[in-house]
Amino acid sequence: MKSWARLIIIAILLIVVGLSFVGIGVYKGGKTYIAFDDLFQSRSRTYEQEVSQPLDGDIEPFENLEIDIEAATIRVIEGDSYSIQLPELNRGKVSYEVKNNKLIVTQEKYKKVVFGFWGINIPGTPMDRNSGKVTIYVPKHAKLKTLNLVCGAGEIEMERLEVENMRVTMGAGELKMDEVLAGYCKIEGGVGEVEAKRFVADTLDLSAGVGEINIEGEFKGDVTLNGGIGEIKLKAKGAESDFNYKLEKGLGELRLNRNSVGNLQTNNNADKTITVKSGIGSIQIFVEE
């Protein structure tokens, strides 16, 4: 075989191996990427202008919260006062303002991102310096009227919050909620896990592309869960007859209160309905007192 043919075969094999590692990284939940301007920075570029300076302090009270973050961990949790903590990031400056009773937190868009290697995070490198947490504290017994949160990649954590109208949009990452009380709650996820414990909502509308959905709580109205690929677990407080059911699965097992069932539509003349649809993955629904 000619030498050039061998080189082509070796190159193809290396590409296949590289893509395999990328796939494994995505499956394991990695989220780190490499940007072109990290590897080849222009000397004339004023790089410091894009740096987020760390900030930790009290802010004006607010009833509405709007967050639009490209990549970071976002925490909205109970605190002693209205306050905010911003991390130091090597790009994508994070800023905030309180205006008309609304806290707005935004991050500049990244530039020249070429490709990503998920699951790789090298301490001390530009990639590692880009990780950080945006933490927003809301006092105990305070109630938010609206919470609109958009996160491209990262983790979202919410603890001990009360919100009238909540909307969360995620690209890739994890959403974890604990002791959150919501009126209307809409969640749209791309790739990643969604977990809620001790969750109370009037209405829940959740859709996810790839990843596990695990919801436990009390629901006063309709619950809708749409999953593409991944396991869905729902544990709702109450009696089985408190809900109507519309359950549809693609590939995977479907269980209602530990009983294996097929696609199911049941009308119990209840005031609220559980609707669950999954493409690939098992569905487990528990409705218990």
**Cβ burial 171-196 (10 Å sphere, 16+ → b, else e):** bbbbbbbebbbbbbbbbbbbbbbbbb
At residue 7 the predicted structure's pLDDT band, cuts being 50, 70 and 90, is: low
Can you give the pLDDT at residue 110?
57
**What does the pLDDT look like over 193-251, one tens digit per residue?**
999 999 999 999 999 999 999 999 999 999 999 999 999 999 999 999 999 999 998 88
Can you give the pLDDT at residue 119?
41
CATH number of 63-75+98-107+139-288: 2.160.20
- Helix ranges (H only) for 29-144 are 36-39, 126-129
Domain ranges of the chain: 3-30, 63-75+98-107+139-288
Residue 5 phi, psi (nearest 5): -70, -40
Higher pLDDT, 166 or 113: 166
